Amino acid sequence: MSEVRTAFKIHLLPNNITFICHEGQTILDAALRAGIELPHGCTRGGCGVCKIRVKGKVDFGRVSRAMLTDQEKESGFCLSCRAVPLEDLEISLIDGASAKVIQHDEFYSFLFKTRTNL
């Protein structure tokens, strides 16, 4: 019997990649585990380095108001290290560039096809 977990799909542009984020998991954690190198710093909502554009509902989490203002929340930004999806999302980097993607088969994940960063 496998446990059924709620999951949301996150579509990353312009890479055009979709990855899975489990309920309660942050966008950053899901991305890194999928081999997608979203920029990040303190991973605790303080430094603002992981700010991305987001379309869709998220729980913004506990973040620095200086690094993510109320206006930014309303205009579609979030800190990926704290933001938890509440529905399927579309995300992109602030500058619109492609995110770096690690090919699993290139190195160490050949055993488990997964990686942990946090």
Partner 1 sequence: MPFRISRLGYVEVRVLDLDDALDFYTNVLGLRLVERLGKKAYLKTWDDQLAYCVILTESDTPGMVRAAFRTVDPEDVDYYEKKLKQYEVPYEVIPEDYKRGKALRFKTPSGHTFEIYYEIEVPGNFLPKESPDPWPRDLKSDAINPPKIDHTLITAPDPTKMIKFCEEVLEFRATEYVVNSDGQPVAAWLYQARQQPHDLAIIPGREAGMHHFAFHISSAQDIFKAADIMVMNDVKIDWGPGRHGITRGSGIYFFDPFGNRIETFGGYTAYLYDPGAKPIIWTEETMGKGVFYYERRLVESFLTVYT
Q: How far is the CB of 44 from partner 1 (least distance, A)?
A: 4
For partner 1, how many residues bind (rule: CB under 8 A)?
Answer: 15
The reply on whether position 115 binds partner 1 by CB under 8 A is: no
* Token pair 């770096």 in the structure block, residue: 100
Q: Which residue, 62 or 100, is less far from partner 1 as judged by CB?
A: 62
Q: Could you tell me the smallest distance in angstroms from the CB atom of residue 110 to partner 1?
A: 25
Looking at the Cβ atoms of 44 and 55, the one nearer to partner 1 is 44
* Residue corresponding to tokens 């990353």: 12
- The answer to whether residue 7 forms part of the interface with partner 1 (CB under 8 A) is no
Q: Which residue has the tokens 């309920």?
A: 23
d(C-alpha 113, C-alpha 118), whole Å: 17
Cα–Cα nearest to 90, from 101, 78, 106, 82: 78
8 vs 78 by CB, closer to partner 1: 78
Which has the closest alpha carbon to 96: 35, 12, 27?
Answer: 12
